[in-house]
Amino acid sequence: MENPSFGMFIAVFEEMFGPVLFWLMVTVAAAVTAVYLYVLIRDRAVSWRKFLLAQLSMPVGALAAVVFVWWVTNSGLGDVGGPVDVIVLLGVPALGAVGMAVFVYTVQSLIRGASQDDG
């Protein structure tokens, strides 16, 4: 089969969410990532106290991701049927955990600022 193009993926996403919501989500994701990089550069160090809280939030993100996927797709744990399903089922919480950690770290950095850093 022929390879899908990048433009095709964009087209599918636009149909999936509607162009406005899709590009809004892309913008929000890009903004959070940019702010995360900003606070890292601003503070010139990883704050381990903030990182601890971020780590503690990871299971919440992981669980939320899996439950959300099951809810959206009318499916559940019992539907895992093969190795690729296990890989996806591990990948979903991994992404959820990392996304949540980045988000929590960024929010803390913005609220608390660099001054209350490491204890």
Partner 1 sequence: MSTDKIMASRRAFLGAMATGGAAAALPMAAPAGAQQVATSASIVILGAGAAGAALANRLSARLDGATITIIDPRQRHLYQPGFTLIAAGLKPASYSVSTTAEWLPSGVRWIEQGAAGIDPESQTVITDGGETVDYDYLILATGLELHYEGIEGMSRDVIGQNGIGSFYAGPDEAAATWREMDRFTETGGRALFTRPATEMKCAGAPLKYTFLTDHYLREKGSRSRSEVIYAAHSNSLFGVPIVHEKLRMLYDDRGFDTVYNHVMTAIDPGAKVATFDTPDGPVEIGFDFTNVIPPMRAPAVIRESGLAWEDRWVGQGWAEVDPYSLRHRRYPNVFAAGDVAGVPKGKTAASVKWQVPVVEDQLVAQIAGDTTDRSYNGYTSCPMITRVGRAMLIEFDYNDNLTPSFPGIIAPLEELWVSWLIKDIALKPTYYAMLRGRA
Asked if 62 interacts with partner 1 (CB under 8 A), we say no
Residue-wise DSSP of 35-104: HHHHHHHHHTS--HHHHHHHHHHHHHHHHHHHHHHHHHTT--GGG--SHHHHHHHHHHHHHHHHHHHHHH
DSSP 113: -
Asked if 8 interacts with partner 1 (CB under 8 A), we say yes
Instruction: Compute the least distance from the CB of residue 107 to partner 1, in Å.
Output: 8
The whole-angstrom separation of Cα 77 and Cα 30 is 31
Instruction: Compute the least distance from the CB of residue 109 to partner 1, in Å.
Output: 14
Instruction: Return all residues near 43 (Cβ < 8 A) that are at least 6 apart.
Output: 109, 114, 117
Asked if 74 interacts with partner 1 (CB under 8 A), we say yes
Asked if 9 interacts with partner 1 (CB under 8 A), we say yes
Binding-site member from 75, 90, 112, 114 for partner 1 (CB under 8 A)? 75
Binding region for partner 1 (CB under 8 A): 1-5, 7-9, 11-17, 25-26, 28-29, 32, 61, 64-65, 68-69, 72-76, 78-82, 84-85, 88-89, 91-92, 95-96, 99-100, 103, 107
